[in-house]
């Protein structure tokens, strides 16, 4: 885009509105922060007294003015000029804002109002960890600015881009989406300001973005090719200082929130059974405390359903005269209709003038950040949640019930004070709170496999991973494992440089093994089948198995079963679903114990993958014969080709031993695999009552020897039939030359 067209746009903008561009140009090199801020202030005053909306050129609606009145009450308004001054004179500013401060909706607006964005040229971007947040905040802000969603204000999430390159000046997007954009535009050239919201959550994407910004900011100083890039990092209280020091002493602005005090109670003694204690406490509150709803935090579906049942029974025991108590479970795999029930108001009194009823929500961590329930006055916090842990030694990611952090505990108790003063009952001792709990939850980057992150960073042009400035650097062993895997997959060469295959893999929104599987699948003549398998594996569990109808569910699944492969079973179910007419699909899913939300999102993923495949020139070919049957051998070969490092072999005792790590594992009972094959490859470990491997496909020694001769170290193999078979295959291979 030439300079003259830029100038023209600017002129157009200026003539149709009162927006002036004091900083976005980066031409005002003589200005210091405070004079810029004064200009901003003048601009804002002009704006606020105007009756014409500069973004639309139309008069403001009456709704705009009424919303403006409430906006002006938000605590963040007191800090508007301070913030703008800090942003004007610094590249990075850290904002610490409590809930209710209004920072998320207002700060991005302050920035566009003073001209940081130029329509069609630069925009202000604001990241969110979750899609719902990105879409709902964008909608709210569009309403506040009295503009059309998708024009002046927009959002971008996976599968959905509601923004416009010509007119959008403020865009909300998920942190993962911004990372994707960075892969094609490493200097983030279309952004003039990036607001990283909810940075304290420390999602994988936020952490990578922060490290990336540390590299990008020196290249986006004033006067650089794409102009100056500003960054506003927004965090909840407590760890803002950590962000400040990470960003080399960037100014820190503290914005107070607006919440009510919450009284904290601890138990005198540690509780042995936290579910039972939580149930007891809920009943106790119902008996003894004033009106107000209760929120109970537990760790998983089963625990929650059990606790709900016990609380209902406890309430029944109180008799018909006690006020009514309604109990709702809440976890993510619950159908949306049932999730919405938590918002139904608590029941009224049983008799006119009597004490009102009460609502109890028993929830996973979803209620800690993702969902806010109004009217909660009491919180019960047993102090646990399920957390992902990664063990690089055995290369296993698993879910473990673990103690929460003090930051989480404070977040949970805060849920009691959103509408009025509340109480929080922590089912552990005060001593335990201070001595046993960690201050903050380990960031996700320290609990995850790094293969995908490493691939992303390489694609972003960052070669020196060892010196990449992570806020919390992952363990060297975790990085080593990632580099090793990517080398095995052929994404990185022996020097650690990205290969053409690696570049293609980075384009796909998948784990590296799955990317490789998809890219190489045409070699096995089955990319149509592999894209279905990969899509079905990228979504939550498709086969449902409710405890009360386990047998029927197993029978339904058996119709799709392929005795050699859980992966192909998944493929059969998915392919059957696609054959069903759209209007009958919901019923079909119900009849066949298929999770309809899940399989529908698999279809979305597939659509996206096929678009990328077209772009990368990966042909779509099928191994389906004229009889409609798959050549399952070639599918299993395609699986083996990408997953030979996740292989286990049968031992005499009937258990399996993983190659390289020598872990004893067992076939998961949900597997449809027939008998005990010699060689299996597996998708995941499930560390529960035993070390299970889940989603398993039988493979063959000869394929492994063909596809991954370098991977198998026969000298260190225990004596077993699998080894004998492998040796035989090697000999055959030698003879073949």
Partner DNA sequence: GAGCACTGC
- Within 685-714, the residues that bind DNA by CB under 7 A are 686, 688-690, 692
Q: How many CB atoms lie within 10 A of CB 656?
A: 26
Closest distance of CB 510 from DNA, Å: 6
- Residue at token pair 């993923």: 605
DSSP H or E segment with residue 162: strand 160-162
Site string for DNA, 124-143 (x = CB under 7 A): -----xxxx-----------
CB of 405 to DNA, least distance (A): 12
Our CB check for DNA shows the closer of 53 and 163 to be 163
Task: State yes or no: residue 372 binds DNA (CB under 7 A).
Answer: no
Q: Is 272 exposed, middle or buried (0-12, 13-18, 19+ CB in 10 A)?
A: exposed
Q: Give yes or no for residue 388 binding DNA (CB under 7 A).
A: yes
What are the CA-CA distances from residue 183 to residues 187, 378, 462, 680 (Å)? 9, 45, 11, 36
What stretches of 309-426 adopt beta strand conformation (E)? Answer: 325-330, 358-363, 376-381, 384-391, 396-403, 422-426
Please state the closest distance from residue 680 (CB atom) to DNA, in A: 16
Q: Contact between 610 and DNA (CB under 7 A)?
A: no
Residue 445 · residue 472 · CB < 8 Å:
yes
Residue 335 lies near DNA (rule: CB under 7 A):
no
- Applying CB under 7 A, which of residues 82, 488, 509, 588 lies at the interface with DNA? 509
**What tokens appear for 467 in the block?**
């010196």
Contacting residues for 629 by C-beta, under 8 A, at least 6 apart: none
Q: Tokens representing 169?
A: 């000046």
| Residue 331 is a binding residue for DNA (CB under 7 A) | yes
Number of residues that bind DNA (CB under 7 A): 49
Q: Is 554 in the site for DNA (CB under 7 A)?
A: yes
Applying CB under 7 A, which of residues 174, 513, 525, 640 lies at the interface with DNA?
Answer: 174
Beta bridge partners of residue 127, listed in sequence order? 173, 196
Helix (H) or strand (E) holding 183: helix 175-184
Q: Does 180 participate in binding DNA (rule CB under 7 A)?
A: yes
Work out whether 547 is an interface residue with DNA (CB under 7 A).
yes
- What token pair was written down for 409? 């505990």
* Candidate list 86, 94, 153, 177; residue touching DNA; CB under 7 A: 177
Look up tokens 């406490």; give the residue: 281
Binding pattern for the stretch 459-498 against DNA, x by CB under 7 A and - elsewhere: ----------------------------------------
Q: Is residue 336 close enough to count as binding DNA by CB under 7 A?
A: no
Nearest to DNA of 239, 301 (CB atom): 301
Compute the least distance from the CB of residue 686 to DNA, in Å: 5
* Residues in Cβ contact with 170 at an 8 Å cutoff, skipping those fewer than 6 apart: 108, 109, 111, 112, 117, 123, 124, 126, 141, 145, 152, 153, 154
Binding residue for DNA, selected from 47, 190, 386, 723, defined by CB under 7 A: 386
- The 300-319 site mask, x for binding DNA (CB under 7 A), equals xxx-----------------
Structure tokens belonging to residue 642: 């990408």
Check residue 79 for interaction with DNA (CB under 7 A): no
Q: Which of 104, 385, 592, 698 binds DNA (CB under 7 A)?
A: 385
Nearer to DNA, 275 or 315 (CB): 275
> Judged by CB under 7 A, does residue 682 bind DNA?
no
Query: Distance of CA 418 to CAs 261, 425, 494, Å?
Result: 9, 16, 55
Structural tokens at position 413? 């108790």
Which segment (258-266, 293-301, 429-437, 567-575) binds DNA by CB under 7 A?
A: 293-301
Burial of 705 (C-beta count, 10 Å sphere; 0-12/13-18/19+): buried
Binding site for DNA (CB under 7 A): 129-132, 157-158, 174-177, 179-180, 203-205, 299-302, 331-333, 364-366, 370, 385-388, 399, 452, 509-510, 538, 540-541, 545, 547, 550, 554, 668-670, 686, 688-690, 692
């Amino acid at each position: 885009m030439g300079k003259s067209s830029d100038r023209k746009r600017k002129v157009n903008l200026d003539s149709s509105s009162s927006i002036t561009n004091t900083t976005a140009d980066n031409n005002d090199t003589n200005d210091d922060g405070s004079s810029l801020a004064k200009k901003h202030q003048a601009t804002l005053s002009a704006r606020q007294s105007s009756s014409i909306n500069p973004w639309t050129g139309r008069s403001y609606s009456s709704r705009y003015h009424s919303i403006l009145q409430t906006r002006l009450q938000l605590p963040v308004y007191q800090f508007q000029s301070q913030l703008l001054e800090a942003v004007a004179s610094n590249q990075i500013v850290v904002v610490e804002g409590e809930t209710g401060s209004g920072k998320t909706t207002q700060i991005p607006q302050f920035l566009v109002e003073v001209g940081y964005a130029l329509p069609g040229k630069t925009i202000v971007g604001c990241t969110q960890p979750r899609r719902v947040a990105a879409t709902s905040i964008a909608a709210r802000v569009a309403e506040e600015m009295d503009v059309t969603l998708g024009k002046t204000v927009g959002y971008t999430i996976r599968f959905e881009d509601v923004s416009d390159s010509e007119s959008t000046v403020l865009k909300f997007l998920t942190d993962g989406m911004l990372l994707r954009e960075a892969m094609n535009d490493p200097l983030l050239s279309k952004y003039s300001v990036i607001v990283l919201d909810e940075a304290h959550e420390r999602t994988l994407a936020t952490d990578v973005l922060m490290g990336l910004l540390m590299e990008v900011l020196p290249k986006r100083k004033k006067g650089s090719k794409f102009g100056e890039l500003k960054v506003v990092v927004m965090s909840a209280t407590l760890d803002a200082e950590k962000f400040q020091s990470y960003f080399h002493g960037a100014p820190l602005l503290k914005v107070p929130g607006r919440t009510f005090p919450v009284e904290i109670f601890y138990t005198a003694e540690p509780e042995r059974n936290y579910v039972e204690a939580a149930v007891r406490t809920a009943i106790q509150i119902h008996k003894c405390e004033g009106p107000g709803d209760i929120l109970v935090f537990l760790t998983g579906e089963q625990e929650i359903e059990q606790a709900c049942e016990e609380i209902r029974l406890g309430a029944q025991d109180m008799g018909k005269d006690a006020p009514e108590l309604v109990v709702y479970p809440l976890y993510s795999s619950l159908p949306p209709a049932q999730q919405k029930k938590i918002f139904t108001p608590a029941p009224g009194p049983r008799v006119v003038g009597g004490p009102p009823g009460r609502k109890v929500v028993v929830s996973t961590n979803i209620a800690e950040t993702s969902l806010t329930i109004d009217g909660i006055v009491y919180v019960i916090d047993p102090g646990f949640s399920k957390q992902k842990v990664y063990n690089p030694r055995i290369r296993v990611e698993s879910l473990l019930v673990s103690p929460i952090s003090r930051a989480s505990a404070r977040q949970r108790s805060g849920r009691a004070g959103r509408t009025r003063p509340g109480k929080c009952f922590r089912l552990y001792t005060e001593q335990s709170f201070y001595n046993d709990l960690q201050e903050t939850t380990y960031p996700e980057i320290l609990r995850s496999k790094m293969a995908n992150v490493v691939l992303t960073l390489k694609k972003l042009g960052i070669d020196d991973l060892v010196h990449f400035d992570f806020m919390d650097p992952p363990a060297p062993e975790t990085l080593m494992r990632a580099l090793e895997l990517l080398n095995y997959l052929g994404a990185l060469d022996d020097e650690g440089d990205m290969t053409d295959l690696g570049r293609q893999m980075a384009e796909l929104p998948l784990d590296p093994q799955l990317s490789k599987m998809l890219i190489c699948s045409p070699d096995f003549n089955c990319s149509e089948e592999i894209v279905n398998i990969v899509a079905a594996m990228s979504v939550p569990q498709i086969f449902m198995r409710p405890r009360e109808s386990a047998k029927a569910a197993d029978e339904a699944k058996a119709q799709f079963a392929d005795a050699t492969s859980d992966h192909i079973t998944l493929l059969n179910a998915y392919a059957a679903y696609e054959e069903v007419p759209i209007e009958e699909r919901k019923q079909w899913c119900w009849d066949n114990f298929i999770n309809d939300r899940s399989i529908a999102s698999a279809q979305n993923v597939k659509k996206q993958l096929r678009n990328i495949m077209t772009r990368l020139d990966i042909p779509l070919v099928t191994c389906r014969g004229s009889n409609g049957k798959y050549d399952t051998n070639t599918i299993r070969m395609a699986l083996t080709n990408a997953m030979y490092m996740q292989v286990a072999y049968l031992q005499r005792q009937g258990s399996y031993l993983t190659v390289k790590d020598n872990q004893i594992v067992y076939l998961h009972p949900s597997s449809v695999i027939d008998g005990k094959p010699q060689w299996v490859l597996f998708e995941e470990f499930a560390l529960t009552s035993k070390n299970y491997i889940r989603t398993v496909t039988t493979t063959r020694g000869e394929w492994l020897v063909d596809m991954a001769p370098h991977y198998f170290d026969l000298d260190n193999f225990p004596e077993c039939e699998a080894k004998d078979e492998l040796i035989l295959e090697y000999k055959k291979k030698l003879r073949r030359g």
